[in-house]
Amino acid sequence: METYVAALDQGTTSSRAILFNQSGEIVSRAQYPFRQIYPQPGWVEHDPMEILATETRALAEAVNAAHIDPKRIAAIGITNQRETTVVWDRNTGEPVYNAIVWQCRRTAPLCDALKAQGAGELVTERTGLLVDAYFSGTKLRWILDNVPGARDRAERGELLAGTVDCWLTWNLTGGRAHVTDYSNASRTMLFNIHSLQWDSELCKLLRVPMGMLPRPVPSCGEYGRIAPSLPGLEDLAGIPICGSAGDQPAALFGQACFRPGQAKNTYGTGCFTLMNVGSEPVRSKAGLVTSVAWSLNGETTYALEGSVFNAGSAIQWLRDELKLISSAPECDRLAESVPDSGGVFLVPAFTGLGAPYWDMYARGAIVGLTRGTTRAHIARAVLDAIAYQVTDLMNAMRADAPCEITALRVDGGASVSDIMMQTQSDLLRLPVDRPAQVETTAFGAAALAGLAAGVWNGKEELEALRRSQHVFLPIREQGQCAENYRQWKRAVERAGSWIESGEGRGPTFENEV
């Protein structure tokens, strides 16, 4: 009798649940959006109770839509928006404040103060990260410092903290499992990726009581079981939760990038490129960060990671602000109508530049305009810019990694663009492999849970389930591609640091670190 695995895919704008069969095929799915809360410019929050409600509702609906006996679900895996931070009461389960989202920049002044006092080297050496408001540790510190009574309650052991995976697991198990997997823990700025434990020195630096943090666990193994008293999930009581990974490492696993040198890029609003570097963390010298990708069967796999802030958002900008296109597919059609961008280069640094530049004061730029420039050339330049930015990340990985990059596996909404994927292959001189199964993030979580539950017997079996929809190979002349990339780097220089350093940063917290 066939068994199934459910994946909870808790994202930044919606909560989803997907049911997979043993062939890795989607049986059913459900999705619910939730509110985005912006208390002031640069601040982003979510309601943790709304996250929980939409995710449990999606799970119940996906199971009902499958028309199967719920007892045939062997396991549940969780994947999630990373870095988003929740603090809640240990006894009542009530959050003390909204979740502070990974996008939120409220702790940038605190990060500036940490860097000013020389904490950057300690953070990078222990965690593989840079000091940045992106990560969870300073968000947790903000809640403890700014919610009345929170620090005193935390010191008394009354509060718990965690990222979204931890929040979901704790609630789904009725408060029995306060755990987080290594991939999520390694994005907090509090976790030592070498010892795979919370780092007491970093917790002291950020004034975070270690007693409120979850137990770090491997990505594959039973964490707890669905509690019998959860409204709407009564039929799922007793099903084990036994797989967890943050969204980007889950996609790396779902893409079957199991060997060092295999890499994936997700083309979404931004781009997230991860490369499997094997069993030892690699410290980046080229502006990337290092995280745990997953840990199973006693073996930990690490990844180099780079992030592009604006990718698909540049296509949205063409549509919504410039009104040059009416839909994303029209961008492709326009771009395909010209042989190249006509010498136009667009740098979509709308919110600064991410890896490997890390220039928060950069702003967008278009260079190379002539009277002959058409909207087709600009559409082509936007797609080229996304490919150039991923090339920046991949070149940084080539400089850092101890192994050769063999191919780039791709996913995300913008990966449907054939012309952009071809450009990507031409620039990298590598195969670009687009899978038939596009739900790689959810499948990664399901695969980790399914391994723990015995649905699949090993990574080899999972690798055999992956199918390529299209593999793009380099076709354009290498010298021309190299010249175009050189011109891209010149355009990036012109976009850099348009805003004076320090403008509008607010208080520096020198006396509070």
The tens digit of pLDDT for each residue in 335-388 reads 999 999 999 999 998 877 888 887 767 888 999 999 999 999 999 999 999 999
Q: Tell me if 129 sits within 8 A of 289, measured CB to CB.
A: yes
Confidence of residue 442 (pLDDT cuts 50, 70, 90): very high
What per-residue confidence (pLDDT) applies to 1? 76
> With 50 as the cut, is the pLDDT of residue 508 above it?
no
Q: 293 vs 359, which has greater pLDDT?
A: 293
Kindly write down the DSSP assignment for every residue of 76-94, as one continuous string. Answer: EEEEE-SS-EEEEETTT--
Q: Tell me if 190 sits within 8 A of 202, measured CB to CB.
A: yes
What per-residue confidence (pLDDT) applies to 3? 92
Q: Tell me if 104 sits within 8 A of 136, measured CB to CB.
A: no
| From 153-162, 273-282, 419-428, 498-507, the region with the lowest mean pLDDT | 498-507
| From 128-137, 371-380, 400-409, the region with the lowest mean pLDDT | 400-409
Tokens of 222: 């039973």
Helix (H, G, I), strand (E, B) or coil at 468: strand
Q: Tell me if 324 sits within 8 A of 375, measured CB to CB.
A: yes
Q: Tell me if 44 sits within 8 A of 88, measured CB to CB.
A: no
Q: How confident is the model over 98-127, as a mean pLDDT?
A: 91
Highest average pLDDT, of 158-172, 220-234, 487-501, comes from: 158-172
> With 70 as the cut, is the pLDDT of residue 505 above it?
no
pLDDT tens track for 174-210 = 999 999 999 999 999 999 999 999 999 999 999 999 9
What per-residue confidence (pLDDT) applies to 500? 47
Residues in the chain: 513
Residue 237, Cβ density class (10 Å: 0-12 exposed, 13-18 middle, ≥19 buried): middle
What per-residue confidence (pLDDT) applies to 501? 43
pLDDT tens track for 301-325 = 999 999 888 888 899 899 988 999 9
What per-residue confidence (pLDDT) applies to 108? 86
pTM (2 decimals)?
A: 0.88
**Taking all residues of the chain, what is their mean pLDDT, rounded to a whole number?**
91
